[in-house]
């Protein structure tokens, strides 16, 4: 060991001879990582072709994607400005965010029948008259003439003012855009936040700031003589026609009930049967085998199949969801429970047996105290995971918040509502995760799980 | 076990009697708490069941006979029909309706060689699951080291990475699928995205817990000879955690096969969609064919991944935490 860091040829030969297995691995073991990577890349390439990823991305509606994502955190007011009796008037769709005859600060009608639409600053605005629209972009006016069968943009128009067939599109970025057509000006004005989230336009609370709302809620003067102002506020909130808070919260509760009841019933069902499936407790191989294959069968049928089957039977709602979770998890929990039972310490059972206890008492005092923490911990894990999967189960037809989400996404214009429901779901999942973690550590202490 | 001493007065000292009294007292308190907990539990369960029944469009006991009727009427004309539907063989009952039309959706490779429709859809679903596991597992692998306390000193990095994982795990898959369906139109890409993102969150959490439980001695050794962070992860950490990573990834593949069938049913394509259509249109033979195919596939995937897991990591019980994944 004079110069311990270098080896001579003899040492090397000796090492090679004693550890041949380490130094001379077969080639496929030495290159395993590289081979694995190449195979994976080849496989991903195959799937790229198999799933037509390239063409799908090319044909994707990416311009709409930005719009949909903006809808998550902002809202659009979409009046159509039409000319009637020489005056420009705004008409709203049924989903309009303003009450009838409301004073809107970005939409000012003038004495002469024209109308001004402002997009953010004073330099970005639209002056609409019956046959001429002047678009101010960054302070510069651009005259857009409305003809009988086409609208023409000026020749020197910037990028923001563009001719699109017979109409002209004026783009103000996030603040919105306007389409000038021959018969109308279709304005889209975008604002940050969710419109009318607390109260819709039919409510007496609409358009007030939070302080005023709270004041009004507790003031003695009743809006509706039949009930207190607080009651009115709660009713108006829950029955908000645009956001449907009451409906969404009730659907959310349905989803939670699905997960809770499904997991609980599965636990109650799997608990006794696991004792029959465990081979150290029920000493009959055929019975163990039948029970375990039964669990495997329940577990292997996809939750989707159960869900759709029971939706056919019971109609949409929480019952098919409960049934689907119950049947899948009864199998999964039964399997896990039986495995836990097979790993119990036999000495405690022997001790109870040696004082002459009946089999039931042996299991009650010799087995259950050992496995109960594991059982409960597993069930809590399943409960957590089911709180998440109940959403998807709902979407295939079992109802609950999943179906509501699917409906909201189907319209392609309710992305703000989707965002709201996603937030609710995330909050609930976090609360339940922490709740189940707290329960678990209380019940079984900090060890292991 | 309150029957230890039947005659506490018989020949025991006052001190023992006091201890015994306290013991009885504790047992009694515990029983009272247990009973209260059980009663509360029962009430919550009863309320939940009542709510579920009220919210359902059909009531449980009213609809139960219809469910049995449905099961009784929902049978194919003869058992062989199921296999004809499975392998796209013409049905003798063909009357031009989709119910007995098993042949029109064959996927032809050449003029004569074809893949039966359902088996093709099943391939789509299984491939969605595998691709998502590869993508999600790969990203989770990259992220997990940044979430582990023993490898990353900066609390902010850990916090951000962990929150990202949590959000990905809890984010409803159908929303991701739905958003992508709106952009890319219906197809498997939406499902791949949805399942992959969820996989990052789920596997990332399991991975970083494995990393945190790893033995730090190899790491110390590497640090002592001046290894960089990357080298420490590669040579000190990876050899320890890789078997567990592989095992969890295989477990995740099993779960993802199920997840991709469900996502398929809400717009991702694949066998889930086929199943939803066939059961919705009362096509008994096709429905049973898909159930059998799915059952066989899931059992095969479970068995294969279990076998591989045992070969790679030995007989460790990885069932724990299955629900968390």
Q: Is residue B207 assigned to a domain?
A: yes
Give the Å distances, CA to CA, from B144 to B140, B172, B237. Answer: 6, 22, 12
Q: Is residue B178 assigned to a domain?
A: yes
The minimum CA-CA distance between B67 and chain A, rounded to whole Å, is: 4
The minimum CA-CA distance between A328 and chain B, rounded to whole Å, is: 11
Q: Which residues of chain A does B1 touch, with a Cβ-Cβ cutoff of 8 Å?
A: 365
Count of domains for chain B? 2
Q: Which residues of chain A does B44 touch, with a Cβ-Cβ cutoff of 8 Å?
A: 260
Q: Is residue B132 assigned to a domain?
A: yes
pLDDT surpasses 70 at B324: no
- Delimit the domains of chain A by residue range: 24-60, 76-192, 245-444
Q: Which residues of chain A does B295 touch, with a Cβ-Cβ cutoff of 8 Å?
A: 300-301
Q: Which residues of chain B does A254 touch, with a Cβ-Cβ cutoff of 8 Å?
A: 51-52, 55
The minimum CA-CA distance between B210 and chain A, rounded to whole Å, is: 12
B212-254, pLDDT tens digit by residue? 888 899 999 999 999 999 999 988 898 888 888 988 999 899 9
Nearest to B136 by CA among B297, B245, B294, B299: B245
Task: Looking at the structure, tell me whether residues B291 and B154 fall in a common domain.
Answer: yes
Domain that holds residue B156: 114-313
pLDDT surpasses 80 at A99: no
pLDDT surpasses 80 at B320: no
Task: Looking at the structure, tell me whether residues B128 and B199 fall in a common domain.
Answer: yes
Task: Looking at the structure, tell me whether residues B59 and B131 fall in a common domain.
Answer: no
pLDDT surpasses 90 at A334: yes
Q: Which residues of chain B does A352 touch, with a Cβ-Cβ cutoff of 8 Å?
A: none
Q: Is the separation of the CB atoms in B223 and B232 below 8 Å?
A: yes
Which DSSP category does B101 fall into? -
Residue B319 pLDDT grade (very low, low, confident, very high; cuts 50, 70, 90): very low
pLDDT surpasses 80 at B10: no
Which DSSP category does A364 fall into? I
Closest-CA residue of A relative to B254 is A300
Q: Is residue B82 assigned to a domain?
A: no
Q: Is the separation of the CB atoms in B166 and A431 below 8 Å?
A: no
The rounded distance, in Å, linking the Cα atoms of B232 and B45 is 52
Q: Is residue B223 assigned to a domain?
A: yes
User: Using CB atoms and an 8 Å cut-off, which of residues 200-259 of chain A contact chain B?
Assistant: 250, 253-254, 257-258
**Number of Cβ pairs < 8 A linking chain A and chain B:** 208
* Mean pLDDT for all residues in chain A: 85
Nearest to A180 by CA among A123, A126, A141: A126
CB contact under 8 A, A313 and B188: no
* Mean pLDDT for all residues in chain B: 86
The rounded distance, in Å, linking the Cα atoms of A128 and A45 is 54
Residue A355 pLDDT grade (very low, low, confident, very high; cuts 50, 70, 90): very high
Task: Looking at the structure, tell me whether residues B166 and B291 fall in a common domain.
Answer: yes
**Number of other CB atoms surrounding residue B306 within 10 Å:** 14
CB contact under 8 A, A402 and B172: yes
CA B289 to chain centre: 23
As a whole-number percent, the residues of chain A with pLDDT over 90 amount to: 23
pLDDT of B144: 92
Burial class (CB in 10 A: 0-12, 13-18, 19+), A337: buried
Tokens of B224: 């002592």
Closest-CA residue of A relative to B298 is A300
Nearest to A416 by CA among A95, A188, A195: A195
Strands of A399-449, DSSP E: none
pLDDT surpasses 50 at B323: no
CB contact under 8 A, A381 and B45: no
pLDDT of A98: 79
The minimum CA-CA distance between B297 and chain A, rounded to whole Å, is: 9
CA A271 to chain centre: 33
Q: Which residues of chain B does A49 touch, with a Cβ-Cβ cutoff of 8 Å?
A: none
Indicate the fold that domain A245-444 takes in CATH: MetI-like fold (1.10.3720)
**Contact A276/B at CB under 8 A:** no
CATH (domain of B181): 1.10.3720.10
Q: Is residue B83 assigned to a domain?
A: no
pLDDT of A104: 80
Task: Looking at the structure, tell me whether residues B118 and B62 fall in a common domain.
Answer: no
The rounded distance, in Å, linking the Cα atoms of B48 and A261 is 7
User: Using CB atoms and an 8 Å cut-off, which of residues 58-117 of chain A contact chain B?
Assistant: 59-62, 64-65, 68
Q: Is residue B108 assigned to a domain?
A: no
**Contact A362/B at CB under 8 A:** no
| pTM, full prediction | 0.85
Q: Which residues of chain B does A309 touch, with a Cβ-Cβ cutoff of 8 Å?
A: 279
Q: Is residue B8 assigned to a domain?
A: no
């Amino acid at each position: 060991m004079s110069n311990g860091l270098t080896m001579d040829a003899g040492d090397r030969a000796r090492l090679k001879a004693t550890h041949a297995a380490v130094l001379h691995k077969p080639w496929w073991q030495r290159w395993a990582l590289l081979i694995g990577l190449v195979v994976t890349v080849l496989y991903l390439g195959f799937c790229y072709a198999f799933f037509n990823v390239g063409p799908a991305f090319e044909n994707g509606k990416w311009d709409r994607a930005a719009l949909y994502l903006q809808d998550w955190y902002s809202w659009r007011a979409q009046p159509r400005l039409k000319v009637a009796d020489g005056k420009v008037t705004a008409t709203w769709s049924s989903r309009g965010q303003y009450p009838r005859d409301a004073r809107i600060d970005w939409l000012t009608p003038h004495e002469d029948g024209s109308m001004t639409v402002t997009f953010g600053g004073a330099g970005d605005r639209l002056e609409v008259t019956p046959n001429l629209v002047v678009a101010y972009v960054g302070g510069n006016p651009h005259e857009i003439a409305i003809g009988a069968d086409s609208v023409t943009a000026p020749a020197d128009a910037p990028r923001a003012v563009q001719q699109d067939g017979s109409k002209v599109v004026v783009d103000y970025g996030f603040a919105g855009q306007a389409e000038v057509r021959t018969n109308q000006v279709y304005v889209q004005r975008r604002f940050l936040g969710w419109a009318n989230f607390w109260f819709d336009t039919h409510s007496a609370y609409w358009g007030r700031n939070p302080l005023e709302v709270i004041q009004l809620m507790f003031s003695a003067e009743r809006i509706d003589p039949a009930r207190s102002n607080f009651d009115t506020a709660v009713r108006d909130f829950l029955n908000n026609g645009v956001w449907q808070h009451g409906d969404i919260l009730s659907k959310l509760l349905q989803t939670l009930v699905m997960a809770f009841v499904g997991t609980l019933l599965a636990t109650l069902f799997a608990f006794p049967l696991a004792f029959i499936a465990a081979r150290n407790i029920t000493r009959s191989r055929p019975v163990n085998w039948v029970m375990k294959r039964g669990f495997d069968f329940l577990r292997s049928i996809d939750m989707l199949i159960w869900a759709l089957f029971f939706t056919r039977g019971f109609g949409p709602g929480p019952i098919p969801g409960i049934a689907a979770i119950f049947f899948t998890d009864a199998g999964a929990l039964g399997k896990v429970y039986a495995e836990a039972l097979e790993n119990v310490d036999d000495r405690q059972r022997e001790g109870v047996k040696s004082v002459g206890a009946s089999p039931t008492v042996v299991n009650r005092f010799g087995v259950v105290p050992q496995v109960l923490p594991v059982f409960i911990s597993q069930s809590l894990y399943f409960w957590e995971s089911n709180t998440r999967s109940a959403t998807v189960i709902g979407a295939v037809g079992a109802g609950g918040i999943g179906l509501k989400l699917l409906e909201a996404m189907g319209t392609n214009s309710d992305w703000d509502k989707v965002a709201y429901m996603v937030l609710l779901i995330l909050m609930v999942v976090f609360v339940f995760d922490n709740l189940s973690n707290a329960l678990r550590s209380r019940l079984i202490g900090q060890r292991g799980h | 076990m309150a029957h230890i001493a039947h005659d506490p007065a018989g020949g025991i000292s006052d001190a023992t009697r006091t201890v015994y009294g306290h013991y009885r007292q504790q047992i009694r308190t515990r029983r009272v708490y247990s009973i209260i907990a059980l009663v509360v539990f029962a009430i919550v369960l009863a309320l939940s069941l009542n709510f579920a029944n009220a919210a359902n469009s059909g009531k449980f006991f009213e609809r139960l006979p219809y469910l049995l009727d449905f099961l009784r009427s929902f049978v194919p004309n003869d058992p062989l029909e199921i296999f004809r539907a499975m392998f796209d063989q013409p049905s003798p009952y063909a009357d031009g309706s989709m119910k007995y039309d098993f042949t029109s959706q064959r996927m032809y490779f050449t003029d004569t060689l074809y893949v039966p429709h359902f088996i093709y859809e099943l391939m789509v679903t299984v491939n969605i699951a595998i691709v998502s596991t590869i993508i999600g597992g790969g990203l989770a692998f990259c992220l997990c080291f940044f979430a582990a306390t023993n490898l990353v000193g900066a609390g902010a990095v850990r916090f951000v990475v962990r929150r990202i994982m949590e959000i990905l795990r809890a984010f409803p898959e159908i929303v991701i699928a739905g958003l992508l369906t709106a952009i890319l139109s219906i197809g498997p890409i939406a499902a791949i995205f949805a399942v992959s993102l969820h996989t990052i969150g789920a596997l990332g959490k399991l991975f970083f817990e494995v990393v945190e439980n790893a033995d730090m001695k190899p790491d110390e050794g590497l640090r002592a000879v001046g290894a960089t962070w990357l080298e420490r992860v590669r040579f000190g950490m990876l050899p320890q955690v890789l078997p567990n990573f592989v095992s969890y990834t295989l477990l995740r593949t099993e779960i993802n096969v199920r997840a991709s069938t469900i996502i398929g049913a809400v717009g991702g394509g694949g066998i889930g969609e086929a199943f939803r259509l066939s059961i919705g249109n009362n096509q008994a033979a096709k429905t049973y064919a898909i159930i059998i195919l799915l059952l066989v596939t899931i059992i095969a995937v479970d068995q294969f991944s279990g076998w591989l897991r045992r070969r790679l990591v030995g007989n460790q019980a990885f069932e724990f935490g299955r629900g968390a994944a």
